[in-house]
Structure 1
Amino acid sequence: MTYDRPAPTTDGSALLSTFDALSKSGLVLYDESQKVVEHTDGNLKFHFVLTKALIKKPTLSTPKHSSASGDGLSNEKQLLPGSDIDTNGFEMGDSGNSTHFLIANKFCFSRPHLMMLTRDGYRRQYEPLDQSDFDAAWGTLASLENETTEYVVFFNCGKDGGCSRLHKHVQLMPLPASGFAVDFLNSNITKEPKVPFEWFYHRFQDGATAASKVTEVYTQLLRQATEAWKASTGKDVPDRQACPHNVAFTSRWIVVIPRRTAAVNKEAGVNSLGMLGVIAVATEKEIENWVKLGLTNSLRELGVPRNIVKYRSEWGKRSGAEGPALLPCFTAQDFPALQPTRSHEEDFASFIQAQVELTTLFGNVHDIPFAARPRTAELIMRGDYTKYVDDATEAMCSWQHAWTSLAVSPRLKSYLNLMQEYPRFALLPNAHACGAISSGKYAHVTSLMERFISALKATAVDDSHIAAAYETLLERL
C-alpha cells in the first residue's frame, strides 16, 4: 500500500491523521482490536494493554538497527550519525525547535504513539533529561492536548530503566484513563497509594508552568531518586550518566522512579507506564505470568523497595548507630540460578532477599532499644525515641506488605513471618518502658509474646533445639 509523506506538523489532528495513514500502510504496527484487561493486586489497580503490535518489538539484545522499517514502504534505512533508530518513513513533524523531531513509534499500544528524538544521534538514553529535552517535549505536549485528550510524555532512562534503543528519545501518547498512579496523581488526594517502590512526584499548581520550572523540578526529583538508588544498590552513577530511572509527566504532574532492573524475567519487563500500573503485553500468557509472579511484588523488585532505603541510610544516620551493613546492593537478580524458570517453581532468590532485608531491619531495631543507657537517655530527651519506634513499626509493616505475594511454599512464608515477629517483640516492650507507646499496645504485645513463647515451647524437640533457644531469649525480654 502506498503512503504519501505529509509535511511536518505538531497539530494534534494532523498528527493523528498521519498516524492513521502510517498504520493503514503497515509501516506502523497498531492493533485496533487491542483490549484492556484489569487486575487488582492488594490495593493497587493494574491495566494490561493486550496488543499484537508488540509481538515483534526488539530489545537492547536485538541486533543493531533491527527496529528499522522492515516490511514497510522502503527497505532503505535512514539513520542519523550515531543513531540506532531508523526514521525512514516514520517522520511526523518537528518539535517546535531545532534540537528534536517527531516520528511515529513502530510498535504502538496507543493512538497515536509518538517518539521525540534528539537531532544529535550521539545523545544517549542513559543520559538525564536536560533543558532542551523539556523545551521540546513541553511545547509539543501543549500543542497536542485538547479538551478531550490529555497526553503523557515518558522517558525510560538506561537499560535497567526499560529502554530498547540507545538514541536518546522520549515517547508521547494519550494518557491512560486509569491505573493506581494516574488516579492518584490526577487527583488532589494527599494520601498515597501503597506502592511497593520509591517514587518521587510533584503536582504543578497551574497550567502555566514554564519548561524551565519543569526542568528544575525534574532535577530535584532525580536527585532524590539517585540517592534512593545508591542506598539500595550500593553503586555510584558513572560520569555523564543518570541512575536508571523512569520519568512520566503531563501538564499537571511529573513523577520520577528509580529502577534496579528492567525485567523480572524474559516475559515480565516494564517501561515508565508499566511502573505506573499500565503494562503493555503481546499475549495472554504474559498476563498469566505477571499474575503468578505477583504484580505488586514484581514492581517492588523492578524499582527500589519502598522504605527499605530509609532504614538502611536515614535511620542509622539519625540514631548514630552503626547497624549491620548487610549487603545493601543485594537483590534477587544477583542469584539468577535461584530464580524460577517456570511459573510453579519457588522463588528462592527473592526469599533470600526478603530474609536479608528483614535481618537488616532487625539490626536497626536492635540498635535502638539496646543502646547504652546514656545513648537511650539522649534519644528520649531529644524526643527521637518515639520517632524511631514509629519508623520501625512502619518499616516492618512495609516489609510485610512488599513480600505478601512472595512465590514460595507456605512453610518458608511461615519462617519469614516468625522472623518478623522477633524484632517487633524486641522493640515494643522496651519502647513501652520508655513511654514511647501506650499501655494498651504494651499489653497487646505482651499477650502476643506469651502466645509466641508457648508455640516455641511446643515446637522445641529438646533444650538444644533452636526453638528452645529462641523461647529462652524471648522470656528474658
Structure 2
Amino acid sequence: MFPQLPADFASVVETTFKNAVASGDLIFSESERSVLKYDGYTMEVRMAPALGQKPKSAPKPDGEGAKKFNPFFPPDPKLVLGGLGDKHTLVLNKFAIVPHHFLCVTKAEESQEAPITIEDLRATWAALQEPIGTSDRTLAFFNKGKNSGASQAHKHIQFLPLDKGTELFPDKVVARTPYEAPSERDPVGQRPLKHSAIPFEHFILPLPTDPSDEELMMRFWALYHRTLQALKQNDNWEKSFNWAMTKEWVIMVPRRADEFEGISVNGTGVVGLLLAKSAAQLAQITELTAGRVLTEVGFPVGPNTEAHYDY
C-alpha cells in the first residue's frame, strides 16, 4: 500500500517555505535559467552564485574524529513538512535555488549507500502525486555513490517542482515509446530505452499510470542491472549512479566522476537540468557543451547488448 501525503500538502509546502525563508532557517537564492539547444535535444542550465557558498557535511566541533553532522537526524522542525508512512519524513531543502525543493528522508539513521527499498519507491511515487506551487509536475532524484554528486550521507530522495513547460529528454523518449503491457519475452513491460542524440550512457523505462509494487521494483532493478553492466564494461567498480523519476518515466545513469573541470553534476544534471555557480561557469558549460560535461562525469554510450539482456 502506498503511503499518503500529509493533508493539504501543497499548501503546507508553500506556507512552510515562506515562513522558513522569512525566519532565515531556509536559504533561498534566485537563479537565472538558460536553455542550450543541440542537435536533437535541449539542456537547461541554472546559474546560482549561492551554490558556491553551500556547505557540505562537517565534523561536530567536539574532538578529533567526531561524527559528521547529520542535518536529517533529526531534521530541523522548522523545515519539516510531515511524515510519509512509517519510514520517511518530508522536509524542505535548507539551501534552495528553486522554490519548494523538498526531500524525503528516512526516519532511521540510514546510509545513502544503502539499497533502495520498496518503501523508498512507494514513498517516491506518493510524493510525486501532488503539484506544488505553480509547477505542474515534480522530478524525484537520488544520488548514489561518491561519483554521483551526493552531498549528505543520510539516505534521502530529493524532489524538485518543475517549471511549467519544462521538457526533459526522457519525456521525448517516452512520448515515442509509451508504457506497453508485459509479455513473456519482456516481463517488465518495456526494455530500457535511450535517446538517440544523447552522447552519455543512460537507461530509461516508461511507467504505467498506476504502478504496483512489483512494477516499480522490477523497473528499478532492471535499470540497476543495466547500470552495473555499464560500470563493469568500463572497469569501474564504485557503483555510483543517479536515479531520477517522474510520474511518466524512470531513468538511471552510471557515473565515473563527481565533476568535470570544476562543474559538479547530480541527479538533476543527468536529465538535462545542470547547475552553474557563476556566469563564468555557465560560459564554460556552453563552450564545452552539456553533452561533453555529462559524458565526462558519466560514460559514452556503450554497445547495444539487448540480445544478452537478463533481468
What is the aligned partner in structure 1 of residue 186 from structure 2?
Answer: none
What is the aligned partner in structure 2 of residue 245 from structure 1?
Answer: 241
Q: 2 CA distance for matches of 1:22 and 1:304?
A: 39
What is the aligned partner in structure 2 of residue 171 from structure 1?
Answer: 158
Displacement after TM superposition at 1:192 (Å): 2.5
* Alignment partner of 2:254 out of 258, 271, 274: 258
Aligned residues: 279
What is the aligned partner in structure 2 of residue 115 from structure 1?
Answer: 103
Task: Give me the CA root mean square deviation.
Answer: 2.8
The amino acid that maps onto 2:33 is V
Residue 133 of structure 2 is aligned to residue 130 of structure 1: no
User: Counterparts of 1:278-427 in structure 2 under 5 Å?
Assistant: 278-307=273-302, 310=303
The residue matched to 1:272 in structure 2 has which SS? Answer: coil
Any unmatched runs of 5+ in structure 1? 1-7, 67-80, 238-242, 318-477
What is the aligned partner in structure 2 of residue 36 from structure 1?
Answer: 33
What is the aligned partner in structure 2 of residue 396 from structure 1?
Answer: none
- Deviation per residue, 1:334-378 (Å, 9 max, x gap): xxxxxxxxxxxxxxxxxxxxxxxxxxxxxxxxxxxxxxxxxxxxx
Q: 2 CA distance for matches of 1:108 and 1:287?
A: 19
Q: 1 CA distance for matches of 2:244 and 2:196?
A: 17
- Deviation per residue, 1:400-434 (Å, 9 max, x gap): xxxxxxxxxxxxxxxxxxxxxxxxxxxxxxxxxxx
Residue 32 of structure 2 is aligned to residue 46 of structure 1: no
What is the aligned partner in structure 2 of residue 142 from structure 1?
Answer: 129
Q: 2 CA distance for matches of 1:102 and 1:186?
A: 29
Q: 2 CA distance for matches of 1:42 and 1:295?
A: 12
Residue 274 of structure 2 is aligned to residue 274 of structure 1: no
- Structure with the higher fraction of residues in strand conformation: 2
The residue matched to 2:20 in structure 1 has which SS? Answer: helix
What is the aligned partner in structure 1 of residue 142 from structure 2?
Answer: 155
Any unmatched runs of 5+ in structure 2? 1-5, 62-66, 179-193
Displacement after TM superposition at 1:64 (Å): 3.3
Residue 86 of structure 2 is aligned to residue 84 of structure 1: no
Q: 2 CA distance for matches of 1:104 and 1:147?
A: 17
* Alignment partner of 1:26 out of 21, 24, 29: 24
The residue matched to 1:142 in structure 2 has which SS? Answer: coil
Q: 1 CA distance for matches of 2:92 and 2:133?
A: 20
The residue matched to 2:253 in structure 1 has which SS? Answer: strand
Contact 1:154 1:273 in 2 (8 A): yes
- Deviation per residue, 1:376-404 (Å, 9 max, x gap): xxxxxxxxxxxxxxxxxxxxxxxxxxxxx
Q: Specify whether residues 170 and 16 from structure 1 end up closer, same or farther in structure 2 by C-alpha distance, changes over 3 A only.
A: same
Q: Specify whether residues 192 and 283 from structure 1 end up closer, same or farther in structure 2 by C-alpha distance, changes over 3 A only.
A: same
The residue matched to 1:160 in structure 2 has which SS? Answer: coil
Q: 2 CA distance for matches of 1:44 and 1:301?
A: 18
- Structure with the higher fraction of residues in helix conformation: 1
What is the aligned partner in structure 1 of residue 88 from structure 2?
Answer: 100
Q: Specify whether residues 152 and 95 from structure 1 end up closer, same or farther in structure 2 by C-alpha distance, changes over 3 A only.
A: farther
Q: 2 CA distance for matches of 1:294 and 1:182?
A: 19
What is the aligned partner in structure 2 of residue 192 from structure 1?
Answer: 195
Q: Which moved more, 1:87-96 or 1:20-29?
A: 87-96
What is the aligned partner in structure 2 of residue 459 from structure 1?
Answer: none
Q: 2 CA distance for matches of 1:12 and 1:210?
A: 25
State which structure, 1 or 2, has the greater radius of gyration over its C-alpha atoms: 1
Contact 1:184 1:193 in 2 (8 A): no
* Alignment partner of 1:215 out of 211, 214, 217: 217
TM-score calculated relative to the size of structure 1: 0.53
Could you list the structure 1 runs, at least 4 aligned residues long, displaced by more than 4 angstroms after superposition.
143-148
What is the aligned partner in structure 2 of residue 69 from structure 1?
Answer: none
Q: 1 CA distance for matches of 2:142 and 2:280?
A: 27
TM-score calculated relative to the size of structure 2: 0.80
Displacement after TM superposition at 1:41 (Å): 3.8
Displacement after TM superposition at 1:281 (Å): 2.2
Q: 2 CA distance for matches of 1:44 and 1:288?
A: 19
Displacement after TM superposition at 1:126 (Å): 2.2
Displacement after TM superposition at 1:21 (Å): 1.6
Displacement after TM superposition at 1:169 (Å): 0.4
What is the aligned partner in structure 1 of residue 233 from structure 2?
Answer: 231
Q: Specify whether residues 145 and 19 from structure 1 end up closer, same or farther in structure 2 by C-alpha distance, changes over 3 A only.
A: closer
